[in-house]
Amino acid sequence: MATDTPLRPADSPGRAGHDDDRGSIRPIAPATGPAARLRGLIGIREELLAWVPEERTRYTWYGAIVLNTAMVGALSMALALGSFRSDLPLPAVLAVAAVWFWVVLVMDSWLVSSTHGTAVKKWSLGLRLVLSVLLGLFIAEPILFQIFDKEIRQEISVGNDQKVADYRGMLVACNPTGGASTADRPECRRYQLKVAGSPAELAEQIASNESRTKALAAQVTSVNGTLKDKMETEQRLCGPDNWIWRNGVRDVTITCERARADSSAYRRTSKIGTYEKQLGTLRAEGQRLAEKKNKAADTYQPLLQQAIDTKTQKRAADLDTDGILTRAHGLTQVAGSDGFALFLTIVLHLLLLGFDALPVLAKFMSGSTMYDTVLGTRFEATRRLHTDELQVRHECARMEHDVQRHQVELDTRDRMQALEHHYRTAQAERTVRERAELDARMERILRARRV
């Protein structure tokens, strides 16, 4: 409202058509062109700056600083995406960099434009400086990664090679060529390899097979012994010495038949045939395992080596080489391994942070300017004009309210008088009706008495 009102009429002499060389003619004509647009980035109003044209150069370069910071931020984002997400196409990288350019430009423009005027407090500038430093940290890191790119890649490569070598060493230590189990070692729980045909595994299988063979052989021997006793009993009871005469011929006794049925039933229920077949299979398996164990020394080591090579290659492929955390760790290692690299890292950090925070630092270094004084005066004038405007509006509203109240009072008085007149008229009419009714009654009474 008031800030847009010119402080001098447009047709006043000395406004347009004069330059600042005369010194006494203020304000001069507002500037246009690229310089004015740069100043517009940081919220400079040309109609106010026309009163202090000496500040134009300062604020032009101030706007250029904000624009440069946004451009460096876009470059940093492009470098970061190109380093950490190399699979992204170039248009996507440029689009994200453009968006980040706009975000940094808007934030820095707000930070700078909010510092204009004499009412800005130092603690407010301090908070803006903290925000600028945080923004600078995000912008500076990708640039530092590119500056130390060669050293960081070398450090990451050496570190990954060491990790792969350590991993392979643990695989070799936890998987001996003899195939012995290392499951009881806590450090080897993550490095166990499953390779079939190891000598130790075959030895365990042979031992298990021998144990099963012995148990089954003992069972077969026991069954055969029992069966042999039953057969001998059958032969003894069914021999010629125990025959009897039956129907004129010699025949076996009932005891022989029972012994014969008992031996036949035991042969059938004891499954001796199945056990003997299983025993033969176990003995054949034992011979096969023994032959396989003899050859395992020549076949297991190549299989184990192949498994170790496969796991090592997978481990090397899984190691990160371009991640932001990996690069940050690599930069830390580079800075920690060499004093000059540490010094250079700190200096570059401070330099980039100072550059990114320069829009607010410039305000700290320049202090309050004549433009700030003019703007502060305009703010104060606007505040006064706004206060006067509010007072005028309040007074007008009060008077309008008094008029409305007086009008309501008059209307109320007229309505009360009309209501009172209506009441009296109705009361008079009611009195007339009552008197006429009484006269009529009196006349009827008198007429009745005369009759």
Return the CATH number of the domain spanning residue range 180-318: 1.10.287
Global pTM value? 0.50
Q: How many whole angstroms from its chain centre is CA 247?
A: 104
Which long-range contacts link 23-30 to residues 24+ away (Cβ below 8 Å)?
A: 26/50, 26/51, 27/51, 28/53
Q: What is the pLDDT of residues 156-213, one digit of tens each?
A: 888 888 888 888 888 888 877 766 667 677 877 787 777 666 666 666 777 888 888 8
What's the rounded Cα separation, in Å, for the pair 269 and 272? 8
What's the rounded Cα separation, in Å, for the pair 27 and 142? 46
CB 363 within 8 A of CB 115: yes
CB 100 within 8 A of CB 139: no
For residue 238, give Cα distances in angstroms to 41, 254, 257, 261, 267.
Answer: 125, 9, 8, 12, 18
Q: For every one of its 451 residues, what pLDDT tens digit does the chain have, with 9 covering 90 and above? A: 334 444 444 444 444 434 444 444 667 777 778 888 888 888 888 888 888 888 888 889 888 988 988 888 888 888 777 776 767 788 888 898 899 899 888 888 887 887 777 655 566 667 667 776 777 777 777 777 777 778 777 888 888 888 888 888 888 888 777 666 676 778 777 877 776 666 666 667 778 888 888 888 888 888 878 878 877 777 777 766 666 666 666 666 677 777 778 788 877 777 777 878 888 888 888 777 776 666 666 666 777 778 888 888 888 888 877 666 777 777 777 777 777 778 877 887 787 777 777 777 777 777 777 888 888 888 888 889 999 999 999 999 999 999 999 999 999 999 999 999 999 999 999 999 999 999 888 888 888 888 7
